[in-house]
Amino acid sequence: MPNSGYEVYIIVNLLEIMLFKCKLFSILSLLLAINTLSAASPPAKFAIKTNGILVLNDTPSRADSFSEIFENGVFYGRLRTNNFYFRWNNEDPNHATHLISALGASVIYRSAIYSDFEFGTALYASQAFFDDVNDPVDRLKSGKDALSRFEYVNTGNKAMAVLGQGYLCFHGIPSTQV
């Protein structure tokens, strides 16, 4: 007796469900494996707290000579992307729906500690992407920091590179860093 269309439909649906479960199981297994491997890996050089504060875990060593200040220093780097989309139900001149994205990077250098002194510096760079015809720069909300608005207004440049940190730290007072 030939199969009815209804029986074939049930079999196809069951196969689709089984295929979905196999895919889901594979994805979950992969995520579990990645989690297990990452737990066994050495700690990261830095971490970012939920409030955006950067914590540098890999601290520089001490230097015995002036040349070792640079040789034993530590570099930290990261790439990042930001996307900001704002949609207003009632648009007006101060509240316009807009989208801005940016790709950026930062490089931080911390010197080795020599005679209880350490110095550090950081360079930050970003390239913003937005529709400057429909989204004027003065209406960009959080994404306004993805570019220099002054530079954009005067030159049209949507890129930014700045020296974001420069410091000198003294470790000679116990339990403090000045």
User: Can you tell me which residue has the tokens 């994205």?
Assistant: 101
Encode pLDDT of 73-107 as tens digits.
Answer: 999 888 888 888 877 788 777 777 778 888 999 99
Q: What is the pTM of this model?
A: 0.62
More confident: 59 or 151: 151
SS3 15: helix
Distance CA 136, CA 93 (A): 11
Q: What is the C-alpha separation between 106 and 110, in angstroms, rounded?
A: 13
* Rounded alpha-carbon distances, angstroms, from residue 74 to 68, 113, 155: 12, 11, 36
> Greater confidence, 123 or 29?
123
Contacts of 78 (CB under 8 A, 6+ apart): 46, 105, 106
